[in-house]
Amino acid sequence: DINWYGESSKLFDKHVRYQGDEVACIVAETENSAEEALNKIMVSYDILPFEVDAEKLLNNTELKVHDWGNINKGKPDEYSRGNIDEGFSSSDYIIEDTFSTQVAIHNPTEVHCSVVNWEDDKLIVYDSTQGIFEVRETVAKALGLSEEKVQVIKEYMGGGFGSKLEAGKYTVMAAILSKKIKRPVKITLDRREMNLAVGNRPDSIQKLKLGMKKDGTLTALSQETIASVGAYPSGGGCSWPLRTLYKCDNVETIEFSMLTNTGKARPFRAPGHVQGTFAFEALIDDAALKIDMDPIEFRLKNYVDNDQVWGVKYSSKKLKEAYKIGAEKIGWQNRNKIPGSGKGYIKSGIGMATQIWWGGGGPPAHANIKITKDGLVNVYSGTQDIGTGTYTFISQITAEILEVPLMNIIVHLGNTEYPYGPSSGGSTTAPSISPAVRDAAEKMKRKLYSAAAALTNLAESKLKYSEGIFYSDKNEKLITLLEIASQVQADSLLVKGSREENIKGLAVQTFGAQFADVEVDTLTGNVRVKKVVAAHDIGRVLNRQTLENQFHGGIMQGLGMALMEERIMDYDYGKMLNANFHDYKIPTMMDTPEIEVIIVGEMDEQANNMGVKGIGEPAMIPTPGAIGNAIYNAIGVRIKSLPITPDKIINALNNN
C-alpha cells in the first residue's frame, strides 16, 4: 500500500488510469521465464469512461480522471502585469492565431533500469537516474527506511533528457522483490514500456494574441494554453517565453494543465519553453511581416535588458551580438523578402528564433578533494555524469587550479555516500557543481602552501608554486606536491568545497538565437534542413568539445520535434499506437544538417565564481521555431502545428 505521485496513486493501484499503469511485477531467473509467467496472469478489468483529449476534458464536467477534477492542482496557472485591455485598445494592429504542439517521448539511448541488493538492512541501488539523491529520498520514503539505509549509485548514464529525474516505480518493485527472495534483482524496461510509462513532453494548444503600434512596439501580449499532462499531477505550462522574452508592459497568460487518461508528463529538455517558443516566435515573425519589418529588426525594437516578471536586471545578455553574427553566418540577406517567392518546386527558406532559459544553477552543491600518499588528486561529489561531460570539466577545473596533469586527477561521481551534488537537469549541473569544485581546489592549494611551509621551515610568503612544485623566492626548487603528500599525515590533505549563494537582485539567464536554412520539396512535402547556426550567450566555456556535443544533440532533438517525432494515440481505445522505434520516428545521421555553434560574450562574472551557465536546454529551445519560420519563408504558408510533416505541407499548399 505504497503511495505514489504524491498521494494520487499507489505503487500498484486497482484504479488503472492509462495504458502503462503498473498492475503487477514478476521476478524470474530469465527474461523468457518472466514473460511466460506474465502471460499466465489473468486480470479482470471494469471498463471505465476515459478521455485522452485535453481540450475535450476542459469542458467535460462528468468524466473525471481523479475525484478532485481534471485540472492539475485544481486550477489554471495565471499571470498578468499591466492592463491587458488598455494594451490592446491602444494597439494599431492586433494579430491572433492558434498553434499546437505534439506529445513527444524522451527515448534516451540507455533504457530505464535498476539493479538492487540488500546488504543486511542496507539497500544498495544501481539506478539509471539523473538524480541519485532524489531516488534515495523517494525509495527510502516508500519503504519506510531512513535515507542512511539507502545507497544509490550511478557513475555513468546514457541520457535521460528529464525522464530520469524522478524515481521509477520499478526501483521500489525491485527492492521489494530483492528483500523477498534475498537475492539481487534487476528490472530493465523495454522500449515499449519506456514509451508508455516514464514520461513525455506534454502537447499544447496555444491561443496567442499580440497588439502593437505601427512602428512595431509591442503594447499587449496574451496566451491561453491547454496541455495534456497525463493521468497524474504534472505541469504543462509553456508561457514563459511570452511573459519575458520581449519588452511589453501588458501581458496576460492562463494555462490549463489537464489530467488525461494517458502517460504522465515529465520534464523534457526545457519543459514548456520548446513548445512556447515555437508558437510565440511564429507570431513575432507574422507581426514583423504585417508592418513590412525585418524579423530581426522587430525583435531588436522590443529588446529588453531586465527580467520583466521578477523586475530585476539580467546578469548578462549578449542577444544583440547573437542576432548579428548568426544572421551573417546563415546569409540572412539572401532570405525571401516575400515568403514563398522563390522559383521552382524546390523552395528554399531561412528562418530564426530566439531562446531564453535560466541555466544559472545554485546551491546546495558540494565537492571534496583529497590528495593521497601517491600524489593523486581525488575529487568527490554526489552529482552524476549523464553523458554531458561532468567528469571532464571537473577534472579540468581541478587540474588548472592545482597545476597538475589531468592524468593525476581522479573524479568520483554518482554515489550518495559522496557530498551532496545536484540533479542533472535544467541546465544546472555545470553552474552548480563547478563553483564548488573551484572552491575546494583553491582551499586545497592554500593547504598545500601551509604544508610546504611547515616542511621547508619557510614562511608561506617566501614560497612560489608552479606545476606541482614549490620554489623559494629565489627560484630554488624546494619540494613537490608528491613529496608533500607522502610526508604529511593520512587524510590531512582533505578539503570541502561548496557552491556560493547566487547574487540577489539579478536574473541569471541564458540567451541565444538559432538560424535555419531549409529546402522544401513542394511536390512531396519533404523538408531538408541544410544548415543550423546556433549563436548563444551561455557564459564561460569549460570544454569546447562537450559544448559542441551538447549543441549538436539539442539541435537534432529539436529537429526531431519540428519534423517527425509524435506520440500517436488511438482516441477510441486510449492506446499509444507507436510505442517503438519502428513507428516513433527520430532523426538519424541522414537527417543531420551542417551545424555551426557560435558563443557570444564571455564569462558571466555575476553568475557564479566560474562565470558558467548551463547549455543543455538552450541548445534545443529555438530549433523547432527556427525551422518552422524557415519553412514559412520557403513556401509562404504557415504550418501552425508540430511536427511539420509532408502531409501537412501538401495540404496547406493545396488549401492555399
DSSP designation for 340: T
Let me know if 617 is a catalytic residue. Answer: yes
Grid cell in block for residue 244: 519575458
Burial class of residue 290 (count of CB atoms within 10 Å of its CB; 0-12, 13-18, 19+): middle
- 81, 105, 279, 357 from 223: Cα distances, Å: 13, 25, 10, 19
Give the cell for residue 145: 527506511
Q: Which three cell numbers stand for residue 343?
A: 522559383
Output the CA angle 379-509-428, nearest 5 degrees.
Answer: 30
Which residue from 292, 293, 165, 332 is spatially nearest to 235, judged by alpha carbons? 165
- All cell numbers assigned to 117: 541488493
Torsion of CA 55, 58, 63, 64, to 10 degrees: 110
Contact present, 114 and 138 (Cβ < 8 Å): no
| Cβ pair 82, 211 in contact under 8 A | no
What per-residue string of b and e applies to 124-162 under the rule 16 or more CB within 10 Å gives b?
bbbbbbbbbbbbbbbbbebeebeeebbbbbbeebebbbb
| Contact status, residue 179 vs residue 254, Cβ threshold 8 Å | no
Q: How far apart are CA 499 and CA 431, in angstroms?
A: 9
* C-beta separation of 346 from 527 below 8 A: no
> Which residue out of 51, 166, 565, 617 is catalytically annotated?
617
Q: Helices (DSSP H) in 564-645: which residue ranges?
A: 623-635
Smallest CA-to-CA distance from 297 within 307, 287, 305 is with 287
Closest CA to 496 of 428, 451, 454, 442: 442
Instruction: Give the H/E segment covering residue 651.
Output: helix 646-655
Q: Which are the catalytic amino acids?
A: 617
